[in-house]
Amino acid sequence: MNSFPGDDPEINAAIEEAQRRLPEFRRALDQDARRVVPQIEGSLVKARFESLVTHKIEHMWIEDAGFESEMVVGTLSSEPNAIPEFTQGDWVTVSPEAISDWTYRQNGKTYGGFTIRIMQKRGLKW
């Protein structure tokens, strides 16, 4: 797990861009859902979770991400380190304001991944 201080300017800028461009992600998923043969190979969303028990914050990836009304839903893709209320594989629902990144692959090209690019530039695993 990578940890970043809340005042990391590059990470914060990447999160802001992911938030600003979230409608692009939703449009891509909506368009793909209308296709006879879907083209999106996978959709991931990273979201901010805060534990009511430990009061710690953790940003975790959600796989098979999609939208139900205005909320983002999907399956928690890893075991939380500091959020005991959740377990890997749980179906989760988060508000769009909690989204810190998103990514998907379509026709061999990756879209989104704003914080991923920063981490790769720094030589970190995501």
pLDDT tens per residue across span 6-46: 678 899 999 999 999 999 999 999 999 999 998 998 899 99
pLDDT at 57 over 70: yes
Please tell me the distance from the alpha carbon of residue 25 to that of residue 36, in angstroms, as a whole number: 19
Among 68, 52, 124, 62, residue whose Cα is nearest residue 99: 62
Q: Provide the mean pLDDT of the chain.
A: 91
32 vs 68, 76, 98, CA distance in Å? 15, 22, 24
pLDDT at 58 over 80: yes
At residue 122, the pLDDT reads 82
Confidence of residue 100 (pLDDT cuts 50, 70, 90): very high
DSSP 27: H
Domain spans in the chain, listed from the N-terminal domain onward: 9-121
Q: What is the mean pLDDT of residues 77-104?
A: 96
At residue 19, the pLDDT reads 96
